[in-house]
Amino acid sequence: MRALPVGDDALLVEVASGEEAQALHAELLRRRAAGSLSVREIVPAARTVLLDGLADPARLAFELTTAAVPPAPPRAREVVELPVRYDGPDLTDVAAQWGVAPREVARIHADTEFSVAFCGFAPGFGYLTGLPPRYDVPRRATPRTAVPAGAVALAGPYTGVYPRSSPGGWQLIGTTDSVLWDHTRVPAALLSPGTRVRFVPVGSS
């Protein structure tokens, strides 16, 4: 673990894996809830956690780098279910990379329970983990100039759902009508780090 200063009152903590980042994020949230950590923002990413608004970043950096972080606690029991039509234009290509039929891609994906590792790229976009490493797929060689809102996509070890139309290079395997980001909703984001997610097939695939 490395803790790097960012400005006068922030730290960027680097760890070795996504699992360690999730465990550190959970521990920092626990400390803040218990009142033992005063921090304005705690932002997880793939292998880092950013802490902003610290009174004494150097002291916390020393504490984090000299003590073991406990494993992340069991996930919350609630599961967000996203209805999905497995009708994406890259479904056949993903099936070929997995060595299975397109219907089997849908089955494997829908049988997996995902967890939001972190959020980014666009408001409401969650990076979901859960598929075994053998199902990692590369990004497209040529990104699309416009991916529609609700597109369910794969890239590397992650599944994601585009909350709005935007350019993108992920492999599109399906479509959901769920609203990932609504500024009139509290909270605005349907998915947040730690949220458990399942995709529920609807229609034909």
For 119-134, what is each residue's pLDDT tens digit?
A: 888 889 999 999 999 9
Q: In the prediction, which pLDDT does 205 show?
A: 47
Six-digit token pair at 192? 């947040």
Return the CA Rg of the chain.
18
pLDDT at 152: 98
Output the pLDDT for position 76.
60
Structure tokens at 124: 């409401």
pLDDT value for 68: 84
pTM: 0.77
Residue 17 tokens, joined:
């894996």
Tell me: the pLDDT tens digits for 150-179?
999 999 999 999 999 999 999 999 999 999
Residue spans of the chain under pLDDT 50: 205
Strands (E), the chain: 2-6, 10-14, 41-44, 48-52, 79-84, 114-119, 126-129, 144-147, 151-155, 158-161, 166-168, 171-175, 196-201
Q: What percent of the chain has pLDDT over 90?
A: 63
